[in-house]
Amino acid sequence: MTDATSAAAMTPDQLAVVDACLDVLRQTPSALITDIDGTVSAIAPTPFEAVVHAGALRALEILTGCLHTVAVVSGRAPADGAAMCGLPGLIYVGNHGMERIVQGAPWTHPAAEAARGPLAAALAEIEAAVRAQEEAPWLLIENKGVTGTVHYRLAPDPAAAAALLEPIALAAAERHGLRVSPGRMIVELRPALAVNKGTAIRDLVADLGLRGAVFFGDDVTDVDGFLALRALRDDGTVATTCIAVLAPETPEAVVAAADLSVAGVTACALTLEAIAARLESEGALSTPAEVRNELDDGNG
């Protein structure tokens, strides 16, 4: 998509988002950071059916040649994010900051690694307890190694499913020293660590010496990233902007924490394409990142 074509296809509000992102990304070195599900990939009935929007994928590939850093920060395992995107030039931060892949090298937080056994046990207990009360064909348990997600999107009555599931998940998490966080038709279990998308993005900013950072997200776990970037902006560390990708079920906390918004995955992809077209026409803002050893070693 050319710069002129992308601009012609966009609303004035979308163009305003593009301009705000470009203002930040021109503060070199800079990074464009995005979540996956609900942001560059439409929410699918199951996580295994999700596909990254083709336009977003094209834009991310172009941006790797224009920006210092392009990163995915997701609740998915980083290997899953890398398989979905298929772009080796991206940094993949997964499991809400507890794992990452940088230049092909994987890293897992040591305390999160130690939680694999308790996590698996808790997920098994949740499944058994729910199925003991009803058949629950809607229940989907996703063990991502160091975090786990319990999905109830397929339930005929999601509110009733949540009411059944949440106290069971809380009790299982407490027994195994884990913590629970809600999301869009999901309940997530994680190790009891002070690690989230916000701490992961702070690490990227510090380790890469970034002067600008843009983050696209859609759910409550992305709020940590939004708040981290807003705090860094407020103290003068880095220029930032936070973009919420909206859906009918978007939590109000996401809208409140974001600076701007776009209406859905397709609009997000169009926005990324327009940003990529503008930056490509201007030439690379900086040499694509040679990521520091701190990221490879997990010391960022």
Comparing 79-88, 179-188, 269-278, the range with the smallest average pLDDT is: 179-188
pLDDT per residue as tens digits for the range 163-205: 999 999 999 999 999 999 888 899 999 999 999 999 999 999 9
- Report residue 287's pLDDT band, with 50, 70 and 90 as the boundaries: low
Res. 206: pLDDT tops 80? yes
- Three-state DSSP at 293 gives helix
Place of tokens 């809600």: 182
- Three-state DSSP at 135 gives coil
pLDDT per residue as tens digits for the range 103-145: 899 999 998 999 999 999 999 999 999 999 999 999 999 999 9
pLDDT at position 299: 47
**By the 8 A CB rule, do 153 and 210 touch?**
no
Determine the Cα–Cα distance for residues 85 and 61; give it in Å rounded to an integer: 9
pLDDT at position 286: 59
The C-alpha R_g of the chain, in whole angstroms, comes to 19
* 113-191 placed in CATH 3.30.70.1020: yes
Ranges of each domain in the chain? 3-109+195-289, 113-191
pTM: 0.89
Fold of 3-109+195-289: Rossmann fold (3.40.50)
Tokens describing residue 184: 């869009």
- Report residue 8's pLDDT band, with 50, 70 and 90 as the boundaries: low
215 sits in the region (left: phi over 0; alpha: psi -120 to 50; else beta) called: beta
